[in-house]
Chain A
């Protein structure tokens, strides 16, 4: 199902995902980091989709978040062990993307990764297949993804604390402690409810306020920022599709074509990807 060196159209995006997962399942030759990256992409995509739901499924979100954490922990340990690793350009502590040129990135890759394997993951463009095959997601982005979805799940706050019976005499010494803790928790919950309600309101409205803030940041930033693989936080709060498509239009003209090719798979908005492809093909 996966062609060799064939350029994939974005309309085949979903087919590709299915093809990738069956490739994962059937192929024994996929290198471990690639498999891990694939799983990570799928997890983040799902979390992103869930964020857009009115009421995400808590059970699933927790399972996926745990999987992301597990992968994150592995990648952290690996990057601690080797300075040059499969995720070029990242060290856990750094946020400075400036000056990382795409040519520099490919130099750092281990030589073991072959062209064919990179094409297995080639969803976005052929210009820099090696680099694009390993989606770079920073540690902090993963953490923020998990945090944001779990925080949003917290919006279902208890309004009234659960009642507890006055116990028999035997339980007396223990019980006040329990009630004390529970009531405190509930008070914190209620306070948290107010804060979370606040943030929930913002993230679930059209969120134009947040978008404006992000645009302002981008206007001030040096174009050299966009030479890295991180254009913007991949897991920002959900935006309405109309505004989301405006954003790349604003930002991409300031990028050169090679960095514009670093499309992040975390965006599930297919119309957005279509837009980007048009720009690439046009350029």
Chain B
């Protein structure tokens, strides 16, 4: 139940939310910077923990609905409270997280402990005042968006209008208004009339960061479709189709499986989007549909191991990816490794998130995997990689060089070295 299933910074980066397999959400808050000692940025400490989803049982279909949190998305802050959307396979919930650090004291009719005073003892009136108290963080569900998805929800994405959001399952995408829970509009439906003809499923979806009418969704066949909601009520016809023709020299039985896109993310500017398939990260320019502008190999040494990875189901692992602005991209791999690619310098690095190999406050040492041949010192051979230690979820602070990396059970927060 402690397996982390999603990680997300809020819009200011002050808060970091994680969801786990047990349906819990844990929010971390960054300490306010100590202006005097500016040798490091504030650390993240636990701010709030709450149970977002509970396991449910669908009596009609005799199915258990897992409480695992698939995605968390923050709303931009509009007042003192914070809002986030969290979703499991079937239900999306809007949570309000608010602070309480004052409480009223000096009621006329009640004692401080809540007992009612004997009215005959009240001889004077006073005005209650707010006095400080220990900080209390409360989370309360404000909206529950349920019963709109037959298949498992894999993505939620808040629109740039901050009023609507989309939720995507394997075959459909629905559009919601944050205020309205009893209705949603189906905007994409790829379910064939005959399920036996099904060959493609939706794997991820996201709204454009600036154009509130544009969204993209990726498929299990390695394609991304960009849709414009102004075109029609049901966006079954894409406006753009992004697909790279297959490289015939790399063709194998597993080509289709490894082409399945596990995550799609727009760059902060909205000009580019990044997709993650099993072995690589691709950067696409929205103006060019026939191929990506850049391709980065995450762990090409696994290409010769695909049959074994298929056999143990690792080939179906869904890795996420994230942007740092529009310049650096990050994604996870096996053996608790994660990779960063700098688009400008074309440099890449492999780092490891583990306690044994890194003491706190030490600089992470770059790692290297030896694909074949003689293994150099400090290199790790492909065969000794631990495929149970996978980093599927990573997040980058929206403004600073602070990253959050989730291994199976642990959350690591790294920051770049300040001089």
Interface residues of A (CB under 8 A from B): 17-18, 21-22, 24-26, 35-36, 38-39, 42, 54-55, 57-60, 62-67, 69-71, 146-147, 150-151, 153-159, 162-165, 167, 171, 174-175, 178, 182, 185, 188
Give CA–CA (A162, B169) in the complex, Å.
14
A229: shortest Cβ distance to chain B, in Å?
A: 23
B-to-A contact residues, CB < 8 Å: 60-64, 148, 150-152, 170-172, 174, 183-186, 189, 193, 195-196, 198-201, 203, 220, 232-234, 253-254, 256-257, 260, 304-308, 310-312, 316
Across-interface contacts of B203 in A (CB, < 8 A): 59
Of all chain B residues, which has the CB nearest A200? B61
A155 touches B61 (CB 8 A): yes
Q: How distant is the Cα of A187 from the Cα of B151 in the complex, in angstroms?
A: 19
Q: Could you tell me the distance between the alpha carbons of A111 and B357 in the complex, rounded to whole angstroms?
A: 55
Using A63-B316, A146-B196, A163-B186 as known contacts, list a sample of 8 further A-B pairs with CB atoms less than 8 Å apart, ordered by residue number in A: A22-B308, A39-B254, A42-B310, A162-B148, A162-B189, A163-B184, A174-B232, A182-B234
Chain A residues, Cβ within 8 Å of B201:
58-59, 62
Contact B63 A54 (CB under 8 A): yes
Would B220 and A59 count as touching, CB distance under 8 A?
yes
Closest to A158 in B: B150
In the complex, what's the smallest C-beta–C-beta distance from A159 to chain B, in angstroms? 7
Query: A70 and B304: CB pair below 8 A?
Result: no
Q: Is the CB of B233 within 8 A of A185?
A: no
22 of the cross-chain contacts (CB-CB < 8 Å) are A18-B308, A21-B307, A21-B310, A21-B311, A22-B307, A25-B307, A54-B62, A55-B63, A58-B152, A59-B260, A59-B316, A62-B198, A63-B220, A63-B260, A67-B253, A146-B196, A150-B196, A150-B198, A162-B172, A163-B185, A171-B233, A178-B233
Q: In whole Å, how far is B56's beta carbon from the nearest beta carbon of chain A?
A: 13
Residues of chain A contacted by B200 (CB below 8 angstroms) = 62
Contact A58 B151 (CB under 8 A): yes
Cβ of A70: which chain B residues have Cβ within 8 Å of it? Answer: 253, 256
**Known pairs A54-B62, A63-B260, A156-B150; A175 contacts B174 (CB<8 A):** no
Q: Given the known A-B contacts A58-B201, A59-B170, are A157 and B150 also in contact in the complex, defined by CB atoms under 8 Å?
A: yes
Chain A residues contacting B186 (CB-CB under 8 Å) are 162-164, 182
When distances are taken between beta carbons in the complex, the residues of chain B under 8 Å from A175 are 233
B184 near A162: Cβ-Cβ < 8 Å: yes
State A58–B253 Cα separation when bound (angstroms): 20
In the bound complex, do residue A24 and residue B307 qualify as a contact, i.e. CB atoms below 8 Å apart? yes
Which residues does chain B contribute within 8 Å of A165, judged by CB atoms? 185, 233
Contact of B183 among A60, A155, A163 (CB under 8 A): A163
A54 to B200, CA, bound (A): 21
**Which residues of chain A have C-beta atoms less than 8 A from B304's C-beta?**
25-26
Name the B residues within 8 Å of A167 (CB-CB): 233
A contact face: mostly helix, strand, loop, or mixed: helix
Cβ contact of A178, chosen from B150, B170, B234, cutoff 8 A:
B234
Most buried by A among B148, B198, B305, B316: B198
The reply to whether B170 and A58 contact each other, CB–CB distance below 8 Å, is: yes
Residues of B contacting A171 in the complex (Cβ-Cβ under 8 angstroms): 232-233
Residues of chain B within 8 A (CB-CB) of A163 are 183-186
Contact A25 B220 (CB under 8 A): no
For residue B308, which residues in chain A have a CB less than 8 angstroms away from its CB? 18, 21-22, 24-25
Give the residues in chain B near A60, CB-CB below 8 Å.
316
Residue of A nearest to B259 (CB): A63
Q: Please, which residue of chain B has its CB at the minimum distance from the CB of A175?
A: B233
Contacts of B198 in A (CB 8 A): 62, 150, 153
Q: How far is the CA of A69 from the CA of B183 in the complex (A)?
A: 38
In the complex, residue of chain B having the shortest beta-carbon distance to the beta carbon of A54: B63
Bound state CA distance, A185 and B316, in angstroms? 31
Q: How far is the CB of B290 from chain A (nearest CB, A)?
A: 23
Q: Which of A38, A153, A164, A188 contacts B193 (CB 8 A)?
A: A188
